Amino acid sequence: MKMNNRWNRIIYRLWAPVYDAAVGGFFMAGRKRAMALAGLRPGERVLLVGVGTGADLLLMPAGVSAVCVDLSPEMLAQAQKKLSASSSKVILMQGDAQKLLVEPDSFDVAIFNLILSVIPDGAACLRENFRALKPGGRAVVFDKFLPNEGRLTMGRRVVNWGSTLLGTDITRRFGDLCHEVNLEVISNEPSLMGGMYRVILLRKPGDRV
């Protein structure tokens, strides 16, 4: 089964009320490391792609402003509940992150936590939202990837059929997603499950404006 927006709307409507309790704690270490690498500073504008239930909102420091996008209104409703506990100025936006939903060259930082393996076209998501970064801007990715040199086995294909039903793809390689994006990989480090999950720090080439 291939990921698609129609199914994602259905499955994440079901996930929304239980997501934090079911898997929120498991992912927290990776989220914290990603946010640490992002190094958010007061006054910066942040684009948070695939905000989900808003777990990352609680990790952002005071003084930053964030535009947070998600396809699922039910997940956004869960994120809305966390706004009062967030130290940042946050705007929640429903939309398809495979398209540029904000002005280009206007954000200091983009955050892609657990979205590139979920959205139907991860390459389009990365490409379009990288356009929103200012030259010299940075981005951080926390997600699961098949190693760029790794072989996609039949067993993994079979398991992936089930995982896509739950709303995530375990067969994607980061190298395949970013080959059309003008970016620099600053660091790429292992995270959860023996390195299946990675935390990747990226930079958009150019002088900061």
* Domain that residue 128 falls in: 5-203
With contact defined as beta carbons under 8 Å apart, do 46 and 69 qualify? no
With contact defined as beta carbons under 8 Å apart, do 193 and 144 qualify? yes
Q: What is the CATH number of the domain that holds 27?
A: 3.40.50.150
> For position 127, what pLDDT does the model report?
97
Bridge partners (DSSP) of residue 125 are: none
Per the structure, the count of domains in the chain is 1
Q: What is the DSSP letter of 128?
A: H
> For position 209, what pLDDT does the model report?
53
Q: Is 145 exposed, middle or buried (0-12, 13-18, 19+ CB in 10 A)?
A: buried
> For position 110, what pLDDT does the model report?
98
Q: What is the DSSP letter of 9?
A: H
Q: In which element (H, E) is residue 201 found?
A: strand 197-203
Tokens of 185: 């990989």
Question: In angstroms, rounded to a whole number, what is the distance separating the alpha carbons of residues 16 and 8?
Answer: 11
The answer as to whether 209 is a domain residue is no
The answer as to whether 46 is a domain residue is yes
Q: What is the DSSP letter of 55?
A: G
pLDDT by 10s per residue, the chain, length 209: 789 999 999 999 999 999 999 999 999 999 999 999 999 999 999 999 999 999 999 999 999 999 999 999 999 999 999 999 999 999 999 999 999 999 999 999 999 999 999 999 999 999 999 999 999 999 999 999 999 887 888 888 888 888 998 999 999 999 999 988 999 999 999 999 999 999 999 999 997 65
The answer as to whether 208 is a domain residue is no
Q: How many CB atoms lie within 10 A of CB 106?
A: 15
The answer as to whether 29 is a domain residue is yes
